[in-house]
Amino acid sequence: MTKQLFYKNPKQIEFFAKVKKCTKIDNSFHIVLDKTCFYPEGGGQSGDRGIIENLQRTHTIEVIDTQRENKEIIHICDSPIEVGLKVIGKIDQIFRFDLMQQHTGQHLISAIFFREFKIQTKGVHFGAQVSTIDFITERIPDFMLIQAETLANLLVAKSLVIRTGSFSPQDAKKLKLRKMANSYEDKVRVCFIDRYDAVACCGVHFKKTSEIGPIKFLQTEKLADGTTRLSFVAGQRSLTLFNLYHNSCESLKRSLSAPIEKITEELENLKANNQLRVDEMGKRLDSLQNNLSEILQSVENVIIFDQLDSKDFSEIGKRLSVTKNFFLLINQQEESANFIALLRGDGEKERLSQIAYRFGGKNNFYQGKLSESRLGDLQIEEIKRFFQ
């Protein structure tokens, strides 16, 4: 059984230990120590990561995840280490601190919704950027979100005491927990937030609510099972998000030459003006399209270009394809000539096959090369007469 140092002092970062096992499984090594500060995944909280190194600090291996198997804690590492060796373990402090802020923050949020609004938590998820809580309710009104977020930050500021304890299942059931553990061994671990909340949880938590930091609700989403998902951030993530929004607002202020409180109004005005321009352009394009066929009646149906850029040549063909006119566009190069044919009948396709070296296409839009014998000026004029 691995001695669990993380429950005694959740803020302990470094520790000494002895390697008991090292087993290769697939492409990783599962290492068991006699004691550890690495918290294994559980209670919705991800397993710790960090490093293990020898006492001389000359050999270091990376711990990429931590799991629990029976009563042993497994450190999943990228390389092996000698069994019996005395080592130093060091957890990723920033990663652990962030998870503790999200996890303890979730306790406080769930407690508020239960105590103030009688809404129970169904499940939680702690993501890399955003965490979510699924509440057993079809809808959370805006006023409720405002009240809950305000109260959450008030209780953070009050620095309420957080403590944990282990109880027998019988004693735990007498505590009137907000939620009992789904499974447990001989003891049930309970987390108390002052006298405000008590819930079964095997995770690691801060000693005071002030360590959670600012809490910010992001959005709610109605799920198919009739629950409502609340997205939130806590602690350093709130500050990171604020900085992102602040920098975006400052950029918009400069671009729009407007104060922050007017940004939304200016963006709506800009959107409306752009839509007016789009509508006006649409009307002009419709007008041009209606008159295009009539205008093209006065244009020769065989048009010769001299060394036109291939992309421009292709674009002209696409533009003319919306008309119902027949066109043969020829783009003469130094030693070859490409063509685009916009056909309107099988007879035109048969005549095209007489002058083309090769061609292909569909929906009466064909592209290809002219036969080498058709490249001279006289031959080009002959082609023009051929399609008159």
Task: Let me know: does 354 contact 366? Beta carbons within 8 Å.
Answer: no
pTM above 0.85, yes or no: no
Q: What is the mean pLDDT of the chain?
A: 88
Give the CATH architecture of domain 97-243: 2-Layer Sandwich (3.30)
What is the C-alpha separation between 55 and 52, in angstroms, rounded?
Answer: 10
Q: Where in the chain is the domain with CATH 3.10.310.40?
A: 302-386
Torsion sign (Cα): 143, 149, 154, 155: positive
What is the mean predicted confidence (pLDDT) over 4-19? Answer: 94
CATH for 302-386, among 3.40.50.880, 3.40.50.300, 3.40.50.620, 3.10.310.40? 3.10.310.40
- Cα dist from 343 to 139, 324, 334, 371, whole Å: 60, 9, 26, 19
Q: Where in the chain is the domain with CATH 2.40.30.130?
A: 3-91
What is the mean predicted confidence (pLDDT) over 337-358? Answer: 74
pLDDT, tens digit, 9 for 90 and up, residues 29-74: 999 999 999 999 987 789 999 999 999 989 999 999 999 998 899 9
Alpha helices (runs of H) in the chain, residue ranges in sequence order: 5-8, 93-117, 142-157, 169-173, 236-256, 263-296, 310-320, 346-355, 377-386
Closest CA to 235 of 212, 218, 219: 212
Task: Let me know: does 191 contact 162? Beta carbons within 8 Å.
Answer: yes
Enumerate residues 6+ apart whose C-beta is below 8 A from 56.
Answer: none
What is the C-alpha separation between 23 and 83, in angstroms, rounded?
Answer: 10
Contacts 24+ apart (CB under 8 A), 30-34: 30/74, 30/75, 30/76, 30/77, 31/61, 31/74, 31/75, 31/76, 31/77, 31/80, 31/81, 32/2, 32/72, 32/73, 32/74, 32/75, 33/2, 33/73, 33/75, 33/87, 33/89, 34/2, 34/3
For position 388, what pLDDT does the model report?
Answer: 59
Enumerate residues 6+ apart whose C-beta is below 8 A from 139.
Answer: 222, 228
| Residue indicated by tokens 């006289």 | 378
Task: Let me know: does 145 contact 241? Beta carbons within 8 Å.
Answer: no
Q: Where in the chain is the domain with CATH 3.30.980.10?
A: 97-243
What is the C-alpha separation between 146 and 347, in angstroms, rounded?
Answer: 73
Give the CATH architecture of domain 3-91: Beta Barrel (2.40)
pLDDT, tens digit, 9 for 90 and up, residues 103-141: 999 999 999 999 999 999 999 999 989 999 999 999 999
* pLDDT surpassing 70 at residue 299: no
For position 261, what pLDDT does the model report?
Answer: 87
For position 148, what pLDDT does the model report?
Answer: 98
What is the C-alpha separation between 202 and 72, in angstroms, rounded?
Answer: 15
Residues of the chain with pLDDT > 70, as a percent, come to: 88
**CA terminus-to-terminus distance, the chain:** 95
Identify the band that residue 208 occupies on the pLDDT scale cut at 50, 70 and 90: very high
pLDDT, tens digit, 9 for 90 and up, residues 309-318: 888 888 777 7
What is the C-alpha separation between 338 and 369, in angstroms, rounded?
Answer: 4
Give me the half-sphere count of Cα atoms (radius 13 Å) on the Cβ side of residue 71.
7
What is the mean predicted confidence (pLDDT) over 161-182? Answer: 90
